[in-house]
Amino acid sequence: MTALYRLFVVWLCIAPIALPTTAEDADATADDPHHSDGEARQALPLEELQMFADVFNQIRQGYVESVPDSELFELAVQGMLSGLDPHSVFLKEKAYDSLQETTQGEFSGLGIEIGQDGGYITIIAPIDGSPAEDAGLKAGDVILEIDGESIRDLPVDRSVGMMRGPTGSEVLLTVGRRGVAEPFEVTVIRDIIKVPSVRSRELMEGYLWLRASQFQKDTGQEAIAILDKALAEGSLKGVVVDLRNNPGGVLGASVDMAGAFLDGGLVVYTEGRHPQAADSYEAAAGDMLDGLPIVVLINGGSASASEIVAGALQDRRRAVIMGTRSFGKGSVQTILPISDTRAVKLTTARYYTPNGRSIQAEGIVPDIVVERAEVKSVESNRRTKEADLQGSLAAEEAIDAQSESESLTELRNNDNQLYEALTLLRGINLLTPAKTPASSSDGATDTVALQD
């Protein structure tokens, strides 16, 4: 029996053993009348810990190859966390650095947000403009092999490490896809991923498309700056907020974005076992769009922070949610640094929409379901009309025929969900009385116009 193992066994035999409590935890416990001292300091199960020590020693002595003690401990921690839920993981140096880079908006790799399901890596969403998107990877794809090596039950950080590599180098992924009978191979060229988290364009005069590909640290402020510019440049009639395939990210950024459309009030709140996991997030006063109609697009790749935005605007009846059911990640992960190069990403809370809905494993259900589809017109221009009939009465007044612009026709053919969102915004405005200036004259009463 080595000195390390003897020390470990001696430590296990010390009784009573209690979970360590930091000064901050102690203060939080003291301030919470519902939090008992027994919950904060529970004795560790000595029998199970003894079993762990026995297994640890058997591996050290009998495994076919020698494994360093430090690596065994890391494997034990990885297994402990992976058994909890798909989002609790042990982050070594590379994975820890990757997480920090991602929230800052620039990192090296393939450009995919991933989770783990059934022992394999699942793509939650490819990032806009990334090598993964260019290679045709889609939300819901399952990565089975990397460069010919199976990654079943491989720790997430090991899988991420295999997908990392020098810029310009290739990685071969074997992918499974729902609806495709056999796995297929995809070659992706690694690159530096510089992610503009917010993009926009005018769909037609007065109607803005605002696309958030993920929630980085400054995403909310970037969206607010785009909206400010659009409001200053002309008459804005409505906004499509596109959160499809947005895998989430920084919680505060999603609160900032939702808050831009809300006049104060609750955006989201969190609850967990630890008192410090309970928190609520409110919007600042003032709806910067002053009630203009909003449609939010979501799909199965919309997760976490993007679901916070959709859920808040849906509960507060501020936007119409359109598309398909979202991913359903309603949990909050906290990064707990262990050293300068290692950390634990631990699920510490669930988040709830303003009406108290937990969307964990349920997702946000759209108000109007519109599935992505290929649209083909069945209308024929050769149909006979009244004006074509011999002897028909002439129109009293000539009216110019209206038809869709080429850009709208292209939008309908290429992205039917976005086309339907724009159509809904236009319909809302058709039924909303136009805003007219309030006037006042001698003996007249001021008229308050309805908001356009």
In 147-237, the DSSP E strands lie at 149-150, 170-176, 184-189, 191-194, 198-204, 207-212
Q: Which of 88, 197, 304, 306 is catalytic?
A: 304
pLDDT for the residue numbered 72 = 94
Amino acid 259: pLDDT: 97
The answer as to whether 391 is a domain residue is: no
Is residue 76 assigned to a domain? no
Model confidence at 440, pLDDT cuts 50, 70, 90, reads: very low
- 119 and 160, same domain (yes or no): yes
Q: Treating both helix axes as pointing N-terminal to C-terminal, what angle do 93-104 and 156-163 enclose, rounded to 10 degrees?
A: 70
Which CATH number is 251's domain given? 3.90.226.10
Residue 308 within a domain: yes
Number of domains in the chain: 3
Q: What is the mean pLDDT of residues 264-291?
A: 94
> Is a pLDDT exceeding 80 seen at residue 335?
yes
Is 356 domain-assigned? yes
Average pLDDT over residues 213-228: 94
Is residue 425 exposed (0-12), middle (13-18) or buried (19+ Cβ within 10 Å)? Answer: buried
| CATH number of the domain where residue 156 is located | 2.30.42.10
Do 112 and 183 lie in a common domain? yes
Catalytic residue among 315, 331, 345, 415: 315
- Low-confidence winner among 71-80, 226-235, 379-388 (lowest mean pLDDT): 379-388
Residues 187 and 202 in one domain: no
Give the least confident one: 66-80, 82-96, 266-280, 281-295.
82-96
- Position 202 scores a pLDDT of 95
In a domain, 210, yes or no: yes
Among this protein's residues, is 315 annotated catalytic? yes
278-301 per-position pLDDT tens digit: 999 999 999 999 999 999 999 999
- Quick one: pLDDT at residue 386? 84
In Å, how far are 168, 235, 411 from 427, measured between CA atoms?
Answer: 47, 17, 17
Q: E-strand spans in 213-369?
A: 238-242, 266-271, 279-282, 294-298, 320-323, 331-337, 343-352, 368-369
Query: Is 247 contained in some domain?
Result: yes
Domain boundary among 151, 176, 194: 194
Spatial distance between the Cα atoms of 422 and 405, rounded to a whole number of angstroms = 14
Residues 202 and 189 in one domain: no
Q: Do residues 308 and 252 both lie within one domain?
A: yes
Using the predicted structure, report yes or no on whether residue 316 has a pLDDT greater than 80.
Answer: yes
Residue 30, domain member (yes or no): yes
Residue 76 — pLDDT band, cuts 50, 70, 90? very high
Q: Look up residue 309 and give its amino acid.
A: V
pLDDT at 396: 80
Mean pLDDT of 254-270: 97
pLDDT of 8 strictly over 50: no
Lowest-pLDDT range of 43-47, 61-65, 69-73: 43-47
pLDDT of 117: 78
Give how far Cα 173 sits from Cα of 45, 131, 148, 176, 372, Å.
Answer: 43, 13, 8, 10, 26
Q: Which is catalytic among the residues 197, 200, 306, 329?
A: 329
Residue 129 covered by a domain: yes
On whether both 147 and 183 belong to a single domain, the answer is yes
198, two tokens: 């917010």
Q: Is 304 a catalytic residue?
A: yes
Higher-scoring residue by pLDDT: 38, 341: 341
The domain in which residue 164 lies consists of: 89-104+106-194
Kindly indicate the confidence band of residue 21, based on its pLDDT and cuts at 50, 70 and 90.
very low
Min mean pLDDT across 52-56, 141-145, 328-332, 407-411 is at: 407-411
Task: Answer yes or no: do 37 and 186 share one domain.
Answer: no
Please answer whether residues 161 and 78 qualify as being in contact, where contact means their C-beta atoms are separated by less than 8 angstroms. no
- Is 148 a residue whose pLDDT tops 80? yes
User: Is 185 in the same domain as 236?
Assistant: no
CA diameter of the chain: 108
361 shares a domain with 293: yes
Predicted local confidence at residue 23, as pLDDT: 30
What digits encode the pLDDT tens for the residues 49-63?
999 999 999 999 999
Average pLDDT taken over every residue of the chain: 83
- Is 32 tagged catalytic? no
Query: In the predicted model, what is the mean pLDDT of residues 207-217?
Result: 94
Q: Say how many CA atoms lie within 13 Å of 353 toward its Cβ.
A: 25
pLDDT for 9? 43
Span of 40-49, 205-214, 220-229, 422-431 with lowest mean pLDDT: 40-49
Does one domain contain both 213 and 286? yes
**Mean pLDDT, range 316-323, rounded to an integer:** 98
Q: Which of 435, 438, 437, 428 is nearest to 235 (CA)?
A: 435
Domain boundary at 138, 168, 194, which?
194
pLDDT recorded at residue 91: 87
Ranking 90-104, 114-128, 329-343, 347-361 by mean pLDDT, the lowest is: 90-104
Residues 301, 185 within the same domain: no
**Judgement on whether residues 354 and 211 belong to the same structural domain of the protein:** yes
Asked whether the predicted pLDDT for residue 438 surpasses 70, the reply is: no
User: Is residue 423 helix, strand or coil?
Assistant: helix
Note if the bond before 131 is cis, omega within 30 degrees: no
pLDDT digits (tens, 9 = 90+) for 26-42: 333 333 333 444 444 57
Out of 164, 194, 224, a domain closes at 194
